[in-house]
Amino acid sequence: MVRFKNRYILCELVFEDDFLVHPTEERNLYYKIKEAIAKAHGDYGVGVLQGGLSVKYLNVYTNIVFIRARRAYHKLVLSALPFIRSIAKYSCFLNTLHVGGSIRSCQKFLQKYGRQQLAILLRKCKTQEEKQEVQKSILNCSLIEKDQVTVEDDIGD
Amino acid sequence: MAAPTKKRARVEMESETKSNPGQYISEKAKESEKRGHKRKRAQDSFIKMKPNEQEDDWLSLAPRCINVADFAEARATEINTMMKAMNNISGGRRIFQKLPRHMRRRAMSHNVKRLPRRLRARAEAEVQKHKRANKQDSGAAKRSRRHRRRPKNLFAEYERRKRKHIWLETHIWHAKRFHMSEKWGYKIPHHPNEKSVRASYRALAKHCLIQDISYYGVIEVTGPQGYLLKSLAHLTNTDSGLTFASLSYLGGKRHGTTMLYQYDKYPYSAISVVNFLWKCLSCECDDRVAIKEETNTDAADKFSSTESRQLWMWVHPSSYETVLNEIVKMFHAKPVMEKMKKKRTQIDKGSDGVEDTGDESSLDFTKTDRQFKNSCVHIRTLKFDLLRFRLQGPLSHSVLLDVLQSAEVKCSDIEECEKMKWWESYYEDTQNAAVHDRQKEVWKNLKNIRTSSELSPGCVLSLTVKDPRLLLPQKKTKVMTAVENTTEPLANERIDLCRRFPDGISQSPIWEKKARKKASVEKFSIDELNKKRAEHLIPGTVLQLGREESRIPILLLHNPGKLEDVKEQMSCQEMQNSLGFGGGWDIVIPSGWGMAFWIALIYRGARAGGEREAQSASAQQGLPYFPYDFPDTLAYNETSNLRKNELESKYSRYPPDKRTNYAKFGVVAPFCSPWEQLVVEWNDTSVSISAKEQTSSIDVDASEMVLNELKVDDMAVTDSVPRDAVYVLRSRSRLRHLAKSCHRYKNMGKDCITSSLSSVLKGDSHALVCVSLRMVHRGVPALFGMVCLADSDDLQQLYRDKNYGGPLETLHKDPSLILKKLDKKCKKRKTKLDTEVKAALVAEINASNSLVSSVKNSCNRQIIGYVCKGSHTFSTGTGCALAYCTIPGLIKMLGDKPASCHAVVLVRNIKSLQYRFAYLSVLTKCW
């Protein structure tokens, strides 16, 4: 059937300062994105994108966000994202990691990406304690993987 | 690539400053968030955020860098949540629906093997789970239609379905043609599926309308006459009309109707209207009673008689249990536990076709009747033993004449070896046979009568008739009266006959349980009849079965329909038109014969109606219908509560703009009538007026004076009963007095009327009065419509302008709507609603919800009562209604009414602002 096709943009928020948690909210980011689009593409951009634009997911601990936009105009969003310089008074920028056709594909990417990050972190560890802790968390997220029959591999698309 | 480098920096910094992992810095962050919407300001605050600055020292609590462990853990948990989210198949989808499109195959849900092997186990589990759930829902898998439709299985299914609600014998016939409703433990036909409102009225007025009212249960009371009468007198009151003890009913020649109250509680705590019939005395005794009747011997004699008598009471199912309990309690009777006899061998084994299945129910002994006994009185419920059909309309007599033919009961050649039929053993007695001959004669003579309204009202005739299935016409026909009869003048003897049936005419074997049961058991099945018919050489010849043919004992109860008494108020012409309107016969037959008689009656052109038709028939006659129009009974409370819930849920299903806003229409009670509150309010005002009178001696209107008098009397008289208990005034004499004062009258002053009323209605200020309303001009009153007092201005305008339609109610304001609007406005302007205004509005809403506000003064005109039943009546061509009004309200209305006019009130429906004028007259006969 006919449906709206979307693109999901997976971004990382990179803050200038290094607080552990930045109290940002989805709507803060949403308004920021809209502002940026208005600045970069004017009323046309806002009008064309307002329909499907939303922030689907925001993790304040890992600073990961999913942004949804209509597929036809999602490039306008991509091009506007670099103009975001701050969110809720914290200055930051958005680092686009992945553009996917469904939330599922973004989730998949994020999973893979997270593992990579943990591996890098492990290599960078200096003290033995740190190393152990990182190993523990790596084990944590892979143990569950073993318990469950990994569907995404099973289904194999 | 930026991210890893960043992380590296963080990790390096970690060793320098170690601090706790921070949580959300909630309040202050939000505060500053508000401040720093703009980018520039954000930057400023960012500069300020440096830990060494004094102002924002809260930030110093937060870590300048991150802990490796926390960092790793956050990532790990995110990975886990992502994985969970992907594994979770949301929206009730099946496992194969998660497969990519190119891997999908046809019929995957049916055949697990079409799935890739690694998914099969899970798919199989899913299928099993589904199967289990299905089994819990519907039990065993459905059998094939052919299996289900086999007569044996079909009957088993019917038996199962009958368990929840009792079926009438004609249930299947009705279920095919009627909307059935589940009420009072029965499945009752509500109305036909075809368009039939007018057709039913035509049948009622010109031909014959028939209803199966077998759901009226019978309570049988047997005991010595004197004792029974004395006890039953506690449940009834002679004030409200003739009771069980009335001589005209006691002989068993007439059936009567009376109102039952709880033990010695009259006029409070009405239970139900019952229709009753005494068993006719055997011939010699009957003569004695007849003599008594003529010589008018003193009433004490009937109370002292110790003869054993049998009384049947037909009670509406809504109040059946209450009546039974009350009677059992009164006699201190104990339940008799009778061991259930073995299931009777069913004589008619063959199936009679689907339509005849009602017969089985009567033979079902799981539905046994209960019995109660005390030393001399025996009470028995006969819920399943007797059926009753009601035939209304002028031609019901002719229809019955065609259906019922007296049977031959002379038992000439009984072979000794054969078992005696019930009628053979009963009519062996020569006296019984003589009675039968007399009945036969009377039935023959009745052929000369055009309609049943010529008979004496309420008379009872019993017959033993032939099997009606043998007399069925080939085709469905419409019986009309023979014209020659009408021209012929009635002979004197016939007139006598009409006026009074000979004695003992209502003696019937139907009173005996044995005969009744045998009559239903000794019935030929249709199957057997058809086989016998097939043996005939010439098709269509009438079956002559001789001794084999069944004889059925039946009772015919005459219903007089509209009597003069009801319509004293109406003009002469109307009276003539409607005299005997809705009258006819009720036919009582033993169970098991329902379908046979029903089909026979239908084949004569009688039109079947349901409960709706019964109600509309009573509306056309202007009579109340139990239990909907008896607001002081328990049955009414139950049914009205049900109705209220139903209406409310229906109302709340609609969106606000698609339903009436009753608050705007000034309707306080759109789903039920608040009788108690109305009565209390009318009595309160009278008190307040008296107080006012005492303080400032303003000249009070005469009618208000009356109110005060009433009030005082009320206080003096009724101490024992709950003072604000509502009851319906049923005392004939007082009602008559009220009714008279509704008419136009001359040469009597207003004061005279009101003062006489007050003296008559002593202590009845808490009562409701049943009134009938007839619209002056237009308008059809409907259920819950408000009966209001007309202003003198209204009346004057009506007298001046004959076409004046009536005043309009001003549109009320709905406080909840206003509140909503204000809220919206405030939201737009981003201001806060004034708390005082809001509190006032909320209080108003609460008041209107909880009915605390006044009912009586809820609209422009004072409400004195509510409509119970209203409709357009075809007989008068106007809207008519039956309503109940409070006595103080009525007296006020009558006091204001000009002497030369009939009493006029205003009626407003709940869905309209228009008041309409209606003539009000008090009903003196309330059932």
The predicted-structure confidence for B253-267, as pLDDT tens digits, reads as follows 888 889 888 888 888
| ipTM surpasses 0.95 | no
Task: Give me the residues paired with residue B872 across strands.
Answer: B879
Q: Among A29-43, A78-92, B37-51, B862-876, which stretch is predicted with the lowest mean pLDDT?
A: B37-51
At B651 the pLDDT is 93
**DSSP calls for B245-307:** T-HHHHTSSB-EEEEEESTT-TTS-EEEEEEEEEPPPPHHHHHHHHHHHHHT--THHHHH---
pLDDT tier at B92, thresholds 50, 70, 90: low
Q: How far apart are CA B429 and CA B440, in angstroms?
A: 17
At B666 the pLDDT is 86
Q: What is the pLDDT of residues B13-61, one digit of tens each?
A: 333 333 333 333 333 334 444 443 433 333 333 333 333 434 444 554 4
Chain mean position to CA A136: 24
Q: What is the CB neighbour count within 10 angstroms for residue A86?
A: 22
What residues of chain A lie within 8 A of the CB of B7, using their CB? 117, 120-121, 124
Q: What is the DSSP letter of B397?
A: H
Residues with Cβ within 8 Å of B198's Cβ and at least 6 positions away in sequence, in order, are B874
At B489 the pLDDT is 56
Q: How far apart are CA B763 and CA B711, in angstroms?
A: 7
**Which residue among A90, A137, A157 places its CB closest to the CB of B100?**
A157
Residues with Cβ within 8 Å of B225's Cβ and at least 6 positions away in sequence, in order, are B250, B302, B305, B306, B307, B308, B309
pLDDT tier at B96, thresholds 50, 70, 90: confident
Domain ranges in chain A are: 6-103, 110-156
Amino acid B496 reads D
Amino acid B457 reads P
pTM of structure = 0.68
Torsion of CA B763, B768, B773, B778, to 10 degrees: 120
Is A88 in contact with B33 (Cβ distance < 8 A)?
A: yes
Is A137 in contact with B76 (Cβ distance < 8 A)?
A: yes
What residues of chain B lie within 8 A of the CB of A119, using their CB? none
Q: Reply yes or no on whether the pLDDT at B421 is more than 80.
A: no
Q: Which two tokens stand for residue B670?
A: 């759109």
Q: Reply yes or no on whether the pLDDT at A16 is more than 60.
A: yes
At B907 the pLDDT is 93
Q: What is the pLDDT of residues B445-476, one digit of tens each?
A: 787 777 777 788 888 888 888 888 888 888 88
Is B46 in contact with A90 (Cβ distance < 8 A)?
A: yes
Q: How far apart are CA B404 and CA B390, in angstroms?
A: 15
Is B79 in contact with A91 (Cβ distance < 8 A)?
A: no
Is B87 in contact with A95 (Cβ distance < 8 A)?
A: no
At A132 the pLDDT is 87
**Which residue among A59, A89, A145 places its CB closest to the CB of B33?**
A89
At B171 the pLDDT is 92
Q: How far apart are CA B572 and CA B1, in angstroms?
A: 107
3-class secondary-structure state, position A74: helix
Is A134 in contact with B74 (Cβ distance < 8 A)?
A: no
Task: Give me the residues paired with residue B3 across strands.
Answer: none
Is A20 in contact with B24 (Cβ distance < 8 A)?
A: no
Residues with Cβ within 8 Å of B371's Cβ and at least 6 positions away in sequence, in order, are B335, B336, B338, B378, B379, B380, B381
Greater confidence (B422 vs B553) lies with: B553
pLDDT tier at A143, thresholds 50, 70, 90: low
- Where does A16-131 show beta strands of DSSP type E? 54-59, 64-70, 86-87, 90-100
pLDDT tier at B140, thresholds 50, 70, 90: low
Q: How far apart are CA B94 and CA B91, in angstroms?
A: 9
**DSSP calls for B292-351:** HHHHT--THHHHH---EEEEEEEE-GGGHHHHHHHHHHHHT-EEE-PPPPPPPPPS--S-
**Residue B264 φ/ψ region, left for φ over 0, alpha for ψ in the -120 to 50 degree band, beta for the rest:** left
Residues with Cβ within 8 Å of B38's Cβ and at least 6 positions away in sequence, in order, are none
Is A20 in contact with B75 (Cβ distance < 8 A)?
A: no
What residues of chain B lie within 8 A of the CB of A155, using their CB? 98-100, 119
Greater confidence (B347 vs B518) lies with: B518
Q: What is the pLDDT of residues B318-341, one digit of tens each?
A: 999 899 988 888 888 888 776 544
Q: Reply yes or no on whether the pLDDT at B292 is more than 70.
A: no
Using CA atoms, how far residue B823 sits from B125, B813, B828, B841, B846, in Å, is 54, 16, 9, 12, 18
Q: What is the pLDDT of residues B634-674, one digit of tens each?
A: 899 999 999 999 999 999 999 988 998 888 888 888 898 88
Task: Give me the residues paired with residue B378 across strands.
Answer: B222, B373
Distance from CA of B824 to the nearest CA of A (A): 24
At B355 the pLDDT is 39
CATH number of A6-103: 3.30.70.3250
Region A97-117: what's the mean pLDDT? 91
Amino acid B917 reads F
Distance from CA of A127 to the nearest CA of B (A): 10
Residues with Cβ within 8 Å of B334's Cβ and at least 6 positions away in sequence, in order, are B372, B373, B374
Q: Reply yes or no on whether the pLDDT at A93 is more than 70.
A: yes
At A43 the pLDDT is 94
Residues in chain A: 157
Closest Cα in chain A to B38? A89
What residues of chain B lie within 8 A of the CB of A152, using their CB? 86-87
Is A95 in contact with B80 (Cβ distance < 8 A)?
A: no
Is B8 in contact with A124 (Cβ distance < 8 A)?
A: yes
Q: What is the pLDDT of residues B209-251, one digit of tens each?
A: 999 999 999 999 988 888 888 888 888 888 888 888 888 888 8
Closest Cα in chain B to A105? B86
Closest Cα in chain B to A103? B86
3-class secondary-structure state, position B383: coil
Is A61 in contact with B6 (Cβ distance < 8 A)?
A: no
Q: Among A30-39, B62-71, B228-237, B338-347, which stretch is predicted with the lowest mean pLDDT?
A: B338-347
Q: How far apart are CA B264 and CA B285, in angstroms?
A: 32
Mutate to test the interface with B, among A1, A141, A143, A153 (most CBs of B within 10 A): A141
Is A144 in contact with B6 (Cβ distance < 8 A)?
A: no
Mutate to test the interface with A, among B31, B82, B84, B122 (most CBs of A within 10 A): B82
At B571 the pLDDT is 46
Pair B357, B172: CB distance under 8 Å: yes
Mean pLDDT, all residues of chain B: 76
Region A68-75: what's the mean pLDDT? 94
3-state secondary structure B759-810: HHCCCCCCEEEEEEEEECCCCCCCCCCEEECCCHHHHHHHHHCCCCCCCECC
Sheet holding A6-15, edge to edge: A54-59, A64-70, A6-15, A90-100, A86-87
